[in-house]
Amino acid sequence: MINARRYECFWTDPRERWLFAGNTSGQISVIDIDTFSIVREVQAHSGVLRAIAVHPSLPYLAAFATDRCLSLWTYGEDGSLAPLAYASVRDIPCANDEGCVPPILSHSVALGFHDTERRLVTRNGNGGVLELEFDDSGALRLLSCMRLHGDWDVQMTRYVSGTDLVLSGGRDATLVLSDRGRELRRWTFWDTVAHWADPIEGTTYLIASDAGRVARVDVCSDAEPISGDRFAHDEMEYVTYNKVSRRAFATSFDRNVYEIDPETCEAKGVVYSPGYKCIWAKTLERSPSTLIVHSRNGGLYKANVDTGCTLAVIKETPAALWSMVSLPGGDIVAAGEGSDLARFRLTGIDPIARTPRYERERIETELPADTYTKRMVRHPASGELILARTDGEIWIGRDGAFRRLIALGSAVRDIAVDPAGRDLFAVTEDGRALKIDLDSGTVQLTYQTGGEPFPRPLWALAYNHTHNLLAVAEFSTKVHILSAADFSLVETCESQRVKRIRWVDSQTLLFGSSDEIWRYTLGSGTPVPLVTGMQNTVEDFIWDARRQYLLLICYQCTIALCDFNTGARLDVVRDQIDYSKGIAWLDATGDAHLYPWDFITWGRSGAAHHFRIHDERILALGPLAVPCA
């Protein structure tokens, strides 16, 4: 399944009548803000629309996509769009590059118009800051293209209000002020990506970063930036300031929209949550309590920041799948967004292709519909399914009948069970590891991370039954090995952005560390890189029974096939246009007719995608199943 209508970005016209939103298949939707309905659409690009910008004073719109092209449009009073220019920026060189730098795949949102001139600033194909001017005929002229963030990509660009100066934020954790490519000043914010800069007044800006905190800086002053404390439990993507209400709001991947004090940059609390990761946001100046926020589930939400109520939603994407487990007999159960589960029922085998045939069925449950299941595991002895939810609840049951086991008060990131007992292990966004009795829901042990102003989140875990050890991963810092008997600390190793940990055997641990996979042996003290250079975060990984191959998926929507022992990359393919979150082998142990190196991926597309390893290459076999009528 191709999830082609997931919204990725938006912008409003200066009068705040129209919302222009871009999706994964390159369309721009024109949305009436008052009715929150789509009135027209145009096909703008052949890739994911990463950014849209509307000129502050002239009737122009620009869009930038992963096809490495820029498009310019004129828009009318009725929101109609007419094409003005379309140009590739893939091969525009940076003036300060000494040699040829190849283009890169980018998630950048670098796009902004000059306040009054027919001029815009974006990025070129390999991470340079690019300035262009245009005329009414659509003719483009290069003003400057300069590499200002080293070997790192440019995340955002914009003109400083009332000037010709450019502000760019890079994935090198710096914010740069420049004039036609000449660097004037540079700031570093907490060694994390500066995702967005939003103007307060004059040349003063609020800065959003992956550090989960906001800064305030006057880019034309020598005054030191003001920095608030961390408030988000995950990366923070966007900050927006309303010049009428003088209120500021920030979005985070922890599913919340926070109000921010624009003077101190401290958080005042959560004002709204759509239940899913939040990115782009804006409150209307003509209606300051009205918030429009874009979520990573592909939806656009209109809400009231004073009441926290949802006013309207535009969402045309299927429910995302986050976790799958195999059942005896070959069936598969999947969970994710909303309350329903999906069962992939094995109906037969194609003996010629050596592939299983599945039908997909919907399982209705009493789980809350406004949240999602992050992880699901099956107890091998009892057959019970345990579901860990982002609202902090853990449910247990089977065949669609579930009961709430415990409410932990913080999003559950990962779970594991003791296969020989009744112990459940869980880690949460507020930095706890817990040992929970599966029958009573009683918390038996708790481990708490440190960190100020609140504990560091725990993102992943893995249970070692042989030695009764629990490996837990802190957000962007360390992996801790705990005794599962009393949660005492056994040993620690360094890590970065760990989303998955798995024990290979009783002594060896594999974990994703940012865009790499590292191998750690108990007692060694130091992990060893195994797979490197995947360009974005490793989401999940598996290996086969022979330990011949290692498969992994990463945030670049790619699957990599590697040698299990050396980490050598054998093949890399595109999975889908949407993000995958999990990967697993299809169980071929019960029938010799089945091919033993078939696997599936799943994620935001809401489907399971079927692949095969053959000739040390990855072969796409299509969807595992389609929903039953």
Residue 627 has pLDDT above 70, yes or no: no
Torsion of CA 41, 46, 50, 52, to 10 degrees: -40
If you average pLDDT over residues 147-163, what whole number do you get?
95
Judge whether 590 and 555 are in contact, CB under 8 Å.
no
The CA distance from 530 to 273, in Å, is 38
Place of tokens 């009428």: 244
If you average pLDDT over residues 108-130, what whole number do you get?
97
pLDDT given at position 629: 45
Residue 125 has pLDDT above 90, yes or no: yes
If you average pLDDT over residues 41-69, what whole number do you get?
97
Least confident of 117-131, 263-277, 443-457, 471-485: 443-457
If you average pLDDT over residues 153-164, what whole number do you get?
96
The structure tokens listed for 459 are: 């993102």
List residues bridging with 426 in a β-sheet: 415, 434
In percent, the amount of the chain with pLDDT more than 70 equals: 99
Judge whether 427 and 436 are in contact, CB under 8 Å.
no
Mean pLDDT of the chain: 95
Residue 236 has pLDDT above 80, yes or no: yes
Residue 608 has pLDDT above 90, yes or no: yes
The CA distance from 32 to 19, in Å, is 6
Over its C-alpha atoms, the chain yields an Rg (Å, rounded) of 25
Helix (H, G, I), strand (E, B) or coil at 461: strand
Number of Cβ atoms within 10 Å of the Cβ of 190: 16
DSSP state of 325: E
Number of Cβ atoms within 10 Å of the Cβ of 72: 20
Residue 243 has pLDDT above 70, yes or no: yes
The CA distance from 241 to 250, in Å, is 9
The CA distance from 245 to 292, in Å, is 15
pLDDT given at position 301: 98
Judge whether 523 and 492 are in contact, CB under 8 Å.
no
The CA distance from 306 to 514, in Å, is 37
Residues 371-403 have pLDDT tens digits of 999 999 999 999 999 999 999 999 999 988 999
**Domain parsing of the chain, residue ranges:** 7-268+278-284, 365-510
Task: Find all residues with CB under 8 Å of 440, minimum gap 6, and list them.
Answer: none
Least confident of 184-188, 368-372, 625-629: 625-629
pLDDT given at position 419: 96
pLDDT given at position 543: 98
Which is it for strands 489-494 and 501-503: parallel, antiparallel or unpaired? unpaired
> For 555-616, where are the E strands, in sequence order?
558-563, 569-574, 580-585, 598-603, 608-614
Residue 69 has pLDDT above 70, yes or no: yes
Q: Is 496 exposed, middle or buried (0-12, 13-18, 19+ CB in 10 A)?
A: middle
Residue with the bigger pLDDT between 452 and 372: it is: 372
CATH assignment of 365-510, among 3.30.420.40, 3.90.180.10, 3.40.228.10, 2.130.10.10: 2.130.10.10
Judge whether 393 and 386 are in contact, CB under 8 Å.
no
| DSSP of 115-179 | SSSSEEEEE-TTS-EEEEEE-TT--EEEEEEE--STTSPEEEEEEPTTSS-EEEEETTSEEEEEE
Residue 138 has pLDDT above 70, yes or no: yes
CATH assignment of 7-268+278-284, among 3.30.70.1450, 2.130.10.10, 1.10.150.20, 3.30.465.10: 2.130.10.10
Phi, psi of 595 (to 5 degrees): -80, 130
Residues 487-526 have pLDDT tens digits of 999 999 999 999 999 999 999 999 999 999 999 999 999 9
pLDDT-based confidence at residue 18 (cuts at 50, 70, 90): very high
Place of tokens 């710096």: 174
pLDDT given at position 628: 54
Chain-centre distance for alpha carbon 128: 23
pTM for the full model? 0.93
Convert 417-442 to b/e letters by CB count within 10 Å (16 or more is b).
Answer: bbeeeebbbbbbbbbbbbbbebeeee
pLDDT given at position 452: 73
The CA distance from 419 to 380, in Å, is 6
pLDDT given at position 451: 81
Place of tokens 């040699």: 99
Peptide bond into 457 cis (omega under 30): no
Task: Find all residues with CB under 8 Å of 41, minimum gap 6, and list them.
Answer: 27, 28, 29, 30
Residues 169-202 have pLDDT tens digits of 999 999 999 999 999 999 998 888 889 999 999 9
The CA distance from 283 to 19, in Å, is 12
Residue 309 has pLDDT above 90, yes or no: yes
If you average pLDDT over residues 32-48, what whole number do you get?
97
Residue 279 has pLDDT above 50, yes or no: yes
Residue 453 has pLDDT above 80, yes or no: no
Judge whether 151 and 114 are in contact, CB under 8 Å.
no
The structure tokens listed for 622 are: 């299509």
Determine the Cα angle at 133 with ends 128 and 136, to 5°: 145
If you average pLDDT over residues 225-231, what whole number do you get?
93
pLDDT given at position 1: 62
In percent, the amount of the chain with pLDDT more than 90 equals: 91
pLDDT-based confidence at residue 589 (cuts at 50, 70, 90): confident
Judge whether 90 and 47 are in contact, CB under 8 Å.
no
